Amino acid sequence: MEEKKKTREIDVIGLLQKVLAEKKLLAKFCGVAMVLGVVVALSTPKTYTAEVILAPEMSSGGLGMAESLSDMASTFGIDLGSKSSMDAIYPEIYPDLLSSTDFILTLFDVKVELLEDTTVRTYSKHLETDTKFGFWNYPKVWLGRLIKMLTAKPGKGGGIDPFQLSKDEEKMVEAIRGAISCFIDKKTSVITLGVTDQDSKVAAIVADTLQHRLQEYITRYRTQKARLDLEYYEKLYDESLEQYHEAQQKYVEFADANQDIYLTSYKMQETELENDMQLKFNVFNQMASQLQASRAKVQERTPAFTIIQQATVPNKASSTPRALVVVFFIFLGGVCDALWILYGRDYWERRRERKSASASQVGESPVS
């Protein structure tokens, strides 16, 4: 076993010495690879990522020990699910919500402007016209645009139909879905929203919009039942107020018209009108109390999001550094040089020798 290990070590050292012995060839491979790396690095557009960090309000359900156990389990990466309330939408499904087609379609018309161009355009238009590609992608892009021009059909009008998207709309949805991200810390429930774009200002604008759209969506969901109750009590309040005013007007008109009459029948009718007015006032007063309680319920159900980090225009690119791309290509050139010296060159020489041998055999074949 020791002899085998020594043999392997010697083989590895020998192979390295064989590769390093031809330094000129190695320099050629690495030089060509470096030039290719510089071309690729300069042709690859930079991308920037803007992030928003926020913490949602967690509704307490009196979980007590279960909630404590959930906190302890989360430290080991286990989610017992006891921290979530009775809501159907909780932080763990926010990534699915943000990646849904219905939500992404709402981002098409977001107004954005570039860092060096303040002309306002929609986010979808920006992705369609301002996106840059590497030189190796241009044939595919040009071919796609040519096919689109040749097969263009009259627009269906009426905006985007979420039920039936066109191919271009589906591609735009996929592009936006790949540009946005949402990460949830299972232990703290802190939400990190990210938007990646080739323009840093666009990334910050869309990230800020993403934050507000998510808050609006969650608020609308959490307060939906309370808002329906509020609308119902507002309707009852208006009706009871109108009925009270009508009963009050009838009583005042009857009392003023029969002020000097002391007949019992008139007194009884006046008392009935007064009682009806008082009854309508009690109903109105009760509806007013219910209305105030419904408004308080809406406020109670409205979730509060704590913004830990606002969206800011990033100055540093989030894409792979160009220097690292060049280093990778140089390393790749060294690997190609080693493969050529150790395997490729011998294989190529053997193949050429076989061809020359077969050719000589054909030339020396006797003609009889």
Residues 160 and 73 in one domain: yes
365, part of any domain: no
**Domain contains 215:** yes
Are the C-beta atoms of residues 200 and 49 closer than 8 Å to each other? Answer: no
Are residues 152 and 106 located together in one domain of the fold? yes
The confidence score (pLDDT) of residue 65 equals: 46
Residues 262 and 250 in one domain: yes
Is 13 within the bounds of a domain?
no
Close Cβ partners of 6 (under 8 Å, ≥ 6 residues apart): none
Considering the domain architecture, whether residues 257 and 213 belong to the same structural domain is answered as no
- The answer, as to whether pTM is greater than 0.85, is no
How many structural domains compose the chain? 2
Q: Domain range holding 269?
A: 226-301
Spatial separation of the C-alpha atoms in residues 275 and 76, rounded to whole Å: 69
| CATH number of the domain within which 130 lies | 3.30.1890
Residues 258 and 192 placed together within one structural domain of the fold? no
154 or 317, which is more confident: 317
For residue range 101-148, list pLDDT tens digits in order: 989 998 999 999 999 888 899 999 999 888 887 777 667 666 666 666
Residues 205 and 266 in one domain: no
The reply to whether 211 and 243 lie within a common domain is: no
SS3 223: coil
Indicate if 173 and 253 belong to the same structural domain: no
For 27, phi and psi rounded to 5 degrees?
-65, -35
- Is there a single domain that holds both residue 209 and residue 254? no
Confidence of residue 64 (pLDDT cuts 50, 70, 90): very low
Same domain, yes or no, for 101 and 149? yes
Does residue 325 form part of some domain?
Answer: no
CA distance linking residue 71 with residue 79, whole number of Å: 9
| Domain annotation covers residue 70 | yes
Q: What is the pLDDT of residues 221-274, one digit of tens each?
A: 888 888 999 999 999 999 999 999 999 998 888 887 777 766 777 778 888 888
DSSP at 84? S
Q: Evaluate whether residue 147 is within a structural domain.
A: yes
In this structure, are 248 and 204 located in the same domain?
no
Same domain flag for 233 and 295: yes
pLDDT band of 331, cuts 50, 70, 90? very high
